[in-house]
Structure 1
Amino acid sequence: MVHRIHRIHRIQTLPVTPDKAWDFFSDPCNLARITPPWMDFRIVSGCADHTYPGQIIEYRVRPFPLVRLGWLTEITQARSPVFFVDEQRRGPYAFWHHQHHFAAVENGAAVRMTDLVHWALPWYALPVRALVRRRLRIIFDYRQHALERLLGRAEQGEDACRA
């Protein structure tokens, strides 16, 4: 049973071309570089050199101290260099649908990256919903700063954050 669907919506402008952004984000091995170290994120299988529809990626994560979870996602859609979608097939959520969109800005000199995540917890995890929401906000905040460190920070444009 899926309960209330929650949404994370993040927009970040990065000073790289859409092709360079695609090359970075479509390589699943880069996920560990933009995930907080305390999550001990590890790819178990499926780390191809690019993202493609039907790709299955298996991870291990530590979302909370002493809690290690397996997570299996499928790339359900991908259109280079515009967008891709990953959906959880097995893992901690009752529902997880993550859209990654890339749009050229500044005449192609930068890219506006949009993350749109819809998620829901299984019924037995509902008592910790507020904690999970806060943790996801922290994870996406870390991701934003890691991307600025790795790819640079765009001088123009406003970034939006809603979780």
Structure 2
Amino acid sequence: MKLYKKESVQYVDATLEECWAFFSSPKNLQKITPDTMGFQITDYDGKNMYAGQIIQYKVSPLLGIKLPWVTEITVVEDKSYFIDEQRFGPYALWHHKHFFEATAKGVKMTDVVHYGLPLGLLGRMMNTLMVKSKLNEIFAYREKAVNQIFNNK
């Protein structure tokens, strides 16, 4: 399986505490996810993120087809970073690190996603034709949504 990497950095005009409070709450995920993804949390325990937390969703990443997606929050370091990993879903592997760092320019948020697709050569072709650009769209939407929420842009 070929692994791909997606990185993004964004500065947020908020305190580290404000930023962490927002991003460590699974209920806020829908606010920063494009409507075109059909993103819907179907089950979680209502608590802020903690290691071992399971979150279940429905997503429509391509062609409006609803798919189940289950992630586990595997690591949480308060006000520093957390990691979510797919347990079931559209990817063969999904490992997403979220880093938060207070700086003079605001909170620096860094996302690092490693992902792999099923289906070998077909999966690699799908990444080139659709998946990579779809992830870029999702992260661009997220940047815009975060700017509207925190940066008044």
Smaller-chain TM-score range? over 0.9
What number of residue pairs does the alignment pair up? Answer: 150
Higher RCO (Cα < 8 Å, 6 or more apart): 1
Q: Distance in 1 between matches of 2:110 and 2:152?
A: 15
Distance 1:11 1:47, change over 3 A: farther
Matched, 1:138 2:137: yes
Deviates more, 1:119-128 or 1:64-73: 119-128
Q: Which residue of 2 aligns with 1:97?
A: 95
Structure 1 residue ranges (4+ consecutive) displaced by more than 6 angstroms after TM superposition? none
Q: Which residue of 1 aligns with 2:149?
A: 150
Q: How does 1:2-151 map to 2 (within 5 A)?
A: 3-106=1-104, 110-123=106-119, 125-130=123-128, 131-151=130-150
Q: Residue 113 of structure 2 aligns to which amino acid in structure 1?
A: V
Shift of 1:38: 1.1
**Aligned-residue identity in percent:** 39
Scaled by the length of structure 2, what TM-score is found? 0.93
Q: Secondary structure at the match of 2:52?
A: coil
Q: Distance in 1 between matches of 2:40 and 2:55?
A: 11
Q: Distance in 1 between matches of 2:113 and 2:45?
A: 22
Q: Distance in 2 between matches of 1:86 and 1:153?
A: 28
Deviations 1:17-54 (A, max 9, x none): 11111100000010100000111110001152310000
RMSD across aligned positions (CA): 1.5
Does the CA contact (< 8 Å) of 2:2 and 2:124 recur in 1? no
Does the CA contact (< 8 Å) of 1:104 and 1:112 recur in 2? yes
Shift of 1:153: 6.0
Q: Residue 30 of structure 2 aligns to which amino acid in structure 1?
A: A
Q: Distance in 2 between matches of 1:82 and 1:69?
A: 31
Shift of 1:66: 3.0
Q: Residue 17 of structure 2 aligns to which amino acid in structure 1?
A: D
Shift of 1:125: 3.1
Does the CA contact (< 8 Å) of 1:78 and 1:84 recur in 2? yes
Stretches of structure 1 that go unaligned for 5 or more consecutive residues are: 155-163
Q: Secondary structure at the match of 2:60?
A: strand
Distance 1:60 1:88, change over 3 A: same
Q: Distance in 1 between matches of 2:45 and 2:96?
A: 18
Does the CA contact (< 8 Å) of 2:38 and 2:64 recur in 1? no
Scaled by the length of structure 1, what TM-score is found? 0.88
